Amino acid sequence: MALPTFKYHPDPLATGAIIAADDECACCSQSRGYIYTGPVYSEEELDNALCPWCIADGSAHAQFDASFTDEAGIGGGGEWDDVADAVREEIAYRTPGFAGWQQERWWSHCQGAAAFIGRAGKSELQALGQEAILAIQNDAGLDDGPDWDEFFNALDKDGSPTAYLFRCTCCGTLGGYQDCD
């Protein structure tokens, strides 16, 4: 069974937000072969307990009043482009989130939310290319030089500092931000 399509998180298997697992979903009570591993904001404890279909169709949000990304972080709390309420709700309520070291922020561009590509360290940024590297360098506020070199060398997909990469769903520009623990 193909996974549902998430416009703003197009490859949740690659990012690790969804994994293959036989656990029963707390929402639909079915074991559908995949489980969501990302953050869940809800009264109930729902870590590793929801299937991607119940996220995609809004039933997990409806049943548990759950969200998967803090609405205030979408658009970076005003740091980036403002996002329409309908898009904000699609990301917060019907899209797998991701775990950051600090409060997660969702990059936006072209008056819309971007698609989350995943966490990135130095090698992942190099694979994505100069545009991705510059986006993270700008976010870090570091000019070319030893400080940036040190920071860039330390960037680790699974460590700290790490970068969070997004692609604009409108123009394809890469962007994002970095944080550390």
Site for Zn ion, rule CB under 5 A = 25, 27-28, 51, 54, 109-110, 168, 170-171, 173
Nearer to Zn ion, 32 or 157 (CB): 32
Helices (H), 95-174: 122-128, 130-140, 146-154
Q: How many other CB atoms sit within 10 Å of the CB of residue 152? A: 20
Rounded-to-integer distance, Cα 162 and Cα 154, Å: 8
Nearer to Zn ion, 46 or 155 (CB): 46
Q: Is residue 32 within a helix (H) or strand (E), and if so which, with residue range? A: none
Residue 130 CB, nearest distance to Zn ion (Å)? 17
Residue 151 CB, nearest distance to Zn ion (Å)? 26
Nearer to Zn ion, 28 or 180 (CB): 28
Nearer to Zn ion, 44 or 147 (CB): 44
Question: What DSSP assignment string belongs to 102-119?
Answer: SS--B-EETTEEEEEEEE
The secondary structure of residue 80, as a DSSP letter, is S
Residue 62 CB, nearest distance to Zn ion (Å)? 12
Residue 80 CB, nearest distance to Zn ion (Å)? 10
